[in-house]
Amino acid sequence: MARTFSVFDGPLLLILLALAGVGLMSMYSAAGGFDGRFSDQLRNYGVALLAMWALAQLSPHTLMRLAVPFYLLGLGLLMGVEVAGETSKGATRWLNLGFTRIQPSEMMKIAVPMMLAWYFHRHQGALRVRDFIVAAILMLAPFALIVLQPDLGTALLVFGAGFFVLFFAGLSFRLLVPVTVVTVVAIGTLVMLEDRLCVDGVDWVILHDYQKHRVCTLLNPSSDPLGKGFHTIQSAIAVGSGGMLGKGYMQGTQTHLDFIPERTTDFIFAVYAEEFGFVGNLVLLLLYLLLLFRGLSIASSAPTMFARLLAGSLTMVFFVYAFVNMGMVSGVLPVVGVPLPFMSYGGTALLTLGCAAGILMGIQRHKALVPS
């Protein structure tokens, strides 16, 4: 038993167990009326723990050898989705392999940072602008294929995972300034011209109609309070009504009167915030900050560039997950379908997060071994 658990990083495992405990407690409250949802989530945690244990045993050297074939496999599966993917709820995201159905975009959250970390490791010591351009192409290829499905939420997570590798590899701040300026100008223009740009018939070209409606709903949820704005309004009410100390466990009225949509998945933070209030939110934020601190600590002590870039990127993916989910539930960001790490219901997301945590533990466990 001691040998089995020795592969885990103690501090990181304790943080994840605390998050899982909070998540299961919230899930039990939110799952009323969903037959088997709580027991299914227990199974999902078990699968994620098994994946974490398996990947924690792999050294960075082994991961580096797997980076290219894993990336190419994921890219090939994404192309397979475009050719023969299965469509559900208007999106073509799944590929039927005969014995199982998979969502290839999920594996790219791990494959993209692995590939980019491998690339920069191979070119360390003589990085040029050309290397960052090649890395950007490697990142944008799967991003574009996922956007086409369409799945903007997952595409942004894949993009974020790749971007953090570029950033930690030494991407110049001067290159980020123009992008930041364009983004600020675009958001400012959208806010000022919202009444003209959000009317029916205006085509945003690069976004699908449902994505346009999500952004417009964020700017003015009351424009369609019983339709597109319902999610944002009800979740914001739940978060705000929690007050300082919350309404008490299992006492959330927004939750148990079925006002919160998708309360076991994307909007579980609204359930938690209503029942535990501002103080409970601070505790949850503290757990996520500890997770980030531990992940970045592992990254900073890693012996190779590959391990440092991969660990740093995967750690920041946890941050992006939490930031986007809490932002959309609070009405600060548009609803894009990003789960709350280690709390939201869902086997695929938990498996991906468990794999990322396992890789971090493997890097920490093998940090004394320097690959050739």
Give the structural domain span for 280. 2-365
**According to the model, what pLDDT value does residue 208 have?**
67
Any domain includes 144: yes
**According to the model, what pLDDT value does residue 299 have?**
94
pLDDT > 90? residue 38: no
- Count H helices, E strands: the chain? 15, 3
pLDDT > 70? residue 99: no
Any domain includes 79: yes
Over the stretch 44-76, which tens digit does the pLDDT of each residue have?
Answer: 999 999 999 999 999 999 999 999 999 999 999
- Residue 338's SS3 state is coil
Work out the mean pLDDT of the chain and round it to a whole number. Answer: 84
Confidence grade of residue 4 (pLDDT, cut at 50, 70, 90): low
pTM of the model: 0.86
Could you give the angle at the alpha carbon of 268 between the alpha carbons of 207 and 211, nearest 5°?
A: 5
Confidence grade of residue 335 (pLDDT, cut at 50, 70, 90): confident
What is the full DSSP assignment across 148-184?
TTT-HHHHHHHHHHHHHHHHHHT--HHHHHHHHHHHH
Is the CB of residue 26 less than 8 Å from the CB of residue 249? no
Percentage of residues in the chain with pLDDT exceeding 90? 37
Based on the structure, what is the number of domains in the chain? 1
**According to the model, what pLDDT value does residue 372 have?**
41
The DSSP symbol for 276 reads H
Over the stretch 197-239, which tens digit does the pLDDT of each residue have?
Answer: 777 767 766 666 666 767 777 667 766 666 667 777 888 888 8
Any domain includes 213: yes
Mean pLDDT of 306-328: 92
First to last CA, the chain: 32
Is the CB of residue 48 less than 8 Å from the CB of residue 23? no
More confident residue, 112 or 85: 112
pLDDT > 50? residue 31: yes
**According to the model, what pLDDT value does residue 211 have?**
67
pLDDT > 70? residue 13: yes
Confidence grade of residue 105 (pLDDT, cut at 50, 70, 90): confident
Any domain includes 370: no
Any domain includes 128: yes
Is the CB of residue 10 less than 8 Å from the CB of residue 16? no
More confident residue, 82 or 18: 18
Any domain includes 312: yes
Confidence grade of residue 371 (pLDDT, cut at 50, 70, 90): very low
**According to the model, what pLDDT value does residue 7 have?**
80
More confident residue, 349 or 6: 349
Q: Give the other-Cβ count within 10 Å of 278's Cβ.
A: 13
Any domain includes 372: no
CA distance 110 to 116: 10
Any domain includes 371: no
**According to the model, what pLDDT value does residue 250 have?**
85
Mean pLDDT of 153-173: 88
